[in-house]
Amino acid sequence: MTYIHNIGAYFLMIKDIFRKPTKWSVMRTLILKDIDDLIISSLGIVAFISFFVGGVVAIQTSLNISNPLIPKYLVGFATRQSIILEFAPTFISIIMAGKVGSFITSSIGTMRVTEQIDALEVMGINPVNYLVFPKFIALSLYPFIISIAMFLGVLGGLAACVYGGYGSMEDYIEGVQTDFVTFHIIYAFLKTLIFAFLLATIPSFYGYFMKGGALEVGKASTTSFVWTSVVIILANYFLTSLLLG
């Protein structure tokens, strides 16, 4: 029954996000702060991971091609497909569930522990709109991060392939351009937008409804990471079956 209660409370919270909005002069400041905290501060770790994972994918693909009849451009093709279809939208989102999700849960949970959320309610402010809506808007820029992850992943594969002696630049670029399907980009960004919504709302839910003291803030952050990751994986499965099946 606890799971059913939490699911119901989650959807009721989503409804409250858009109820009784905070005035724009205040909301604008909150949105800009969350863009800095959630988007800009994540660029470094996303760029670092994407570049080197792209290199690893290219190296492993090259090492597993031992048949001389298999064309060399397959390394670029496999790297592009892996990065665009799964790594950038899905696994970066799971990484972000740890970084961004934990930050959201701990920040809102701390406000709950210190009774700041109660103070917002006393002042007649809708705390869900005040706390969650700016994060929802900030993470609408999340596809920008994923586009950078896609580019750097493919670039990392190129660097590893060429400078590691696993193939030529011409073969790799030919593979990247071979059988390119525009819908795969659309599919990746559709997934990204849904994952962004989950990243904004599930950690907020666990922070907003947590009970206890400072110790429970850490537990809530861990729980939010686990459930955000689980829901992202499940959503990825259903979206892939629906859009590519």
Query: Which residues have C-beta within 8 Å of that of residue 161, sequence separation ≥ 6?
Result: 58, 59, 62, 75, 76, 79, 167, 169, 172
Q: Residue 233: inside a domain, yes or no?
A: yes
| 32 is a domain residue | no
Q: What is the C-alpha R_g of the chain?
A: 21
Domains in the chain: how many in total?
1
Whether 14 is covered by a domain: the verdict is no
1 belongs to a structural domain: no
Tens of pLDDT along 7-48?
899 999 999 898 888 888 889 999 999 999 999 999 999 999
Residue 142: domain span: 41-244
Question: Is 238 inside any structural domain?
Answer: yes
Asked if residue 24 is part of any domain, the answer here is: no
For residue 12, the tally of other CB atoms under 10 A from its CB is 11
pLDDT above 80: residue 66: no
- Residue 21 within a domain: no
For 160, counting Cβ atoms within 10 Å of its Cβ (0-12 exposed, 13-18 middle, 19+ buried), the class is buried
pLDDT digits (tens, 9 = 90+) for 80-104: 999 999 999 999 999 999 999 999 9
In a domain, 22, yes or no: no
Flag the least confident range among 15-29, 55-69, 82-96, 182-196: 55-69
Whether the full predicted model's pTM is greater than 0.85, yes or no, is yes
